[in-house]
Structure 1
């Protein structure tokens, strides 16, 4: 009888610890999602306020920014150089997140996100990867995409064809 009681106790303990672990993991993920959301909201606010230093502090030292044009793939230094005149003239961009999804790697050191943005280009999509570095989340890769409603994709394709055909040939 003691054997069954002891088995039941350990079974209950295992069940309880798994449940507590799941709750703790869920709590941890919610806290980290809030931290990442704050990073991304601050990132957008710093750009809108032409705050060059704080905007680029959001990026990891080894990071990439991919813009809306097919030729815009920059490491942090290249992006800083490209963006500096806009920040200096206070003619930066103002993006507001409308909807955001955040997902985590198993080890919790990386997360990836996608978001729908309200911008001067109308709806855009921001997506990327963040890494926890020194206890703080930093942008490792950011991709900005212009969305194209399915109803007008043929018209948009006609407009961009002469511009992008040359690039396609160059890249082949």
Structure 2
């Protein structure tokens, strides 16, 4: 009897949690999509590229890295050819979406080979799944390091000028 009461209480608590946020399942689908997209890159699976819209934009960490889907794919070809690309795993992610759930936007903090990065993205819900419309990756620079970091960038850019 005690087990039955525990099972019933657990079921009620889970139902209550879902009722409190009816979008929990949708958020889980978004998280699963983004996690699998990152995993596709880590394993250089061709499916990574199938998760973009044809007119997607990818913005990397360097100010020159504002790419169309085709430009980004061409730039990344060398990584796919050697079967080793980037490995991003989410530390945390916030998911937001339009009332009709057709558009999703998110921000995330990531573990990467560059340390902690931050990113944001926009997904389109096709009804059959999600596609990446826009993604921007940024280095997360701790505020106490910002002055030295800014000076290093200024010195680098001054040398690059003719």
Structure 1 stretches of 4+ with a deviation exceeding 6 A read none
Q: Deviations over 1:96-130 (max 9, x none)?
A: 10000000112210010001000110000121100
**Counterpart selection for 2:26 from 24, 32, 43:** 32
RMSD: 2.1
Mark the structure with the bigger radius of gyration: 1
Query: TM-score, normalization: structure 1?
Result: 0.77
**Counterpart selection for 2:68 from 70, 75, 85:** 75
Q: Kindly tell me the number of residue pairs found equivalent between the two proteins.
A: 144
Preserved CA contact (<8 Å) 2:43 2:84: no
Preserved CA contact (<8 Å) 1:35 1:137: no
| Structure 2 CA distance for partners of 1:107 and 1:85, relative to 1, 3 Å | same
SS at match of 2:25: helix
Match of 1:96 in 2: 89
Match of 2:11 in 1: none
List alignment gaps of at least 5 residues for structure 1.
Answer: 1-22
Structure with the higher fraction of residues in helix conformation: 1
- Residue 135 of structure 1 deviates from its aligned partner by 2.4
**Counterpart selection for 1:141 from 100, 114, 134:** 134
